[in-house]
Amino acid sequence: YNWQMVFQPLTSTVHWPAIGHLWTLSVEQQFYVFFPLLFLGVPKRWRWRLAGALVLLAPLTRWMWLLFVGSAVPDADVGILAFSVYAATICQIDAFLIGALIARFQPRLLCDPRLPMRWMWLALGVVVAFALVYIAMNHARGDRGADVLKNIFSGILYGQRRELFGYSVILFAAGVLLVTIAGVPGTSWLSKPWITWIGRISYGGYLFHALLIWGVSQLIGQELKYSPVAWRVAGFAAVFLATVGLASWSFTCFEQPIARRFKTWASGGAFVLCMQKSAKVEH
pLDDT, residue 146, reads 75
- The pLDDT tens digits of the residues spanning 146-161 come to 778 777 777 677 777 7
Whole-prediction pTM? 0.75
pLDDT, residue 241, reads 94
Mean pLDDT, residues 43-51 taken together: 88
pLDDT, residue 207, reads 93
Q: Is pLDDT above 60 for 26?
A: yes
pLDDT, residue 238, reads 92
pLDDT, residue 224, reads 79
Between 217 and 17, the more confident residue is 217
Between 148 and 33, the more confident residue is 33
Q: Is pLDDT above 90 for 251?
A: yes
Mean pLDDT, the chain, integer: 82
| DSSP states of the chain | -HHHHHH-TTTPPPPPTTTGGGHHHHHHHHHHHHHHHHHHTS-HHHHHHHHHHHHHTHHHHHHHHHHHHHHHSTT--HHHHHHHHHH-GGGSHHHHHHHHHHHHHHHHHTSSTTHHHHHHHHHHHHHHHHHHHHHHHHHHTT--GGGGGTTSSSSS--STTHHHHHHHHHHHHHHHHHHHGGGSTT-GGGGSHHHHHHHHTHHHHHHHHHHHHHHHHHHHTS-GGGS-HHHHHHHHHHHHHHHHHHHHHHIIIIIHHHHHHHHHHHHHHHHHHHHHHHHHHH-
Between 174 and 270, the more confident residue is 174
Mean pLDDT, residues 2-18 taken together: 70
pLDDT, residue 212, reads 93
Mean pLDDT, residues 187-194 taken together: 80
Mean pLDDT, residues 16-41 taken together: 87
Query: Which of 6-10, 127-131, 225-229, 234-238 bottoms out in mean pLDDT, i.e. has the lowest?
Result: 6-10
